[in-house]
Structure 1
């Protein structure tokens, strides 16, 4: 056997080894399982959000309460109002304005585009904010601790810029999301609350 084919074979095998996805560290896998369990548990976060792209750019404060079958987000600051309450369930969305107006729809993405000028995939965001992939195909990159560092899913790219210690693990505290049509969302989480554990 000549040296050239042998060299090509060795390079090909080396290339396959380089592309093989390394397993998560044991600590990272345990933490991922802990975060996965939070989908079924009540949690709350408080922080700041900025959205640019679409029709407008805005920023404000966010309080997000996640419960069984219901997500409740309170946005204060955007739209020049004191606070907008967004309630999302399985296949429905309700927006409550400070002046008493209520908007409801069975198409959450469509209503959000109408109100915000951009589509924010809330069904997926409840996973992404925990440092998890939503159900379905995704391309992911992990840091050395096994935590999500970059995620591409449903036409969005999510960058995890910082994590903070929370209860039995760590949760994201700084995220940047890039979506279709140049939409950019920045989320800074100041406090996490898991059941009665506050951070």
Structure 2
């Protein structure tokens, strides 16, 4: 469902992780995003559509079935993460601990993911690689490798995020910056 053909591009490595280009859109602290995701590793595969409402004080990720039914709602508020599923509600201080059973692996850090979906390299990347137009092609961050497979306008359209056998593919369908 999420797999699209990836076109090859020549890349030019950039050693300075803080490098930015004029092609980047401004980083947003508040946004609404909708799309599809595929999470897989050697043991399992999980595909769903999602909506993500993100603000500095509250972030809500809703995972939906193919028929539009809510599978799970993850809410991050202050230092508490709450996961609501048809089986009940759980709270943790670490959202990754709540998402790991659904995805099959611990997801990348939220602060990095929030930047990547906006086409930014995120906090303290280890290495950045850009395509000839200056857009991010690949980012290395704490063992994660993020490949920006395709772009729509100045925002990423498809991202592949990998660490070892863990693979997360995001297809971003809608993007609404909130003011």
TM range (shorter): 0.7 to 0.9
The equivalent of 2:103 in structure 1 is 116
Instruction: Count the aligned residue pairs.
Output: 164
User: Highest relative contact order (Cα 8 Å, sep 6+), 1 or 2?
Assistant: 2
Alpha-carbon contact 1:158-1:176 (below 8 Å) kept: yes
Shift in Å, 1:89: 3.6
Unaligned segments of structure 1, at least 5 residues:
1-17
Summarize the Cα distance change of 1:29–1:116 in structure 2 as closer, same or farther, 3 Å threshold.
closer
The equivalent of 1:30 in structure 2 is 22
- Cα distance in structure 1, aligned partners of 2:101 and 2:31: 28
1:190 paired residue among 145, 162, 173: 173
1:179 pairs with 2:163: yes
Alpha-carbon contact 1:77-1:83 (below 8 Å) kept: yes
RMSD: 2.8
Shift in Å, 1:117: 2.5
Shift in Å, 1:115: 4.3
Name the one with the larger helix percent. 1
Alpha-carbon contact 1:91-1:108 (below 8 Å) kept: no
The equivalent of 2:83 in structure 1 is 95
Larger gyration radius, structure 1 or structure 2: 1
- Cα distance in structure 2, aligned partners of 1:58 and 1:123: 22
Alpha-carbon contact 1:54-1:117 (below 8 Å) kept: no
Summarize the Cα distance change of 1:159–1:20 in structure 2 as closer, same or farther, 3 Å threshold.
closer
Shift in Å, 1:177: 0.9
The normalised TM-score by structure 2 is 0.79
1:59 pairs with 2:42: no
The normalised TM-score by structure 1 is 0.71
1:50-91 Cα deviation digits (max 9, x unpaired): 01016421101011111122221111129xx73211112453
Shift in Å, 1:46: 0.9
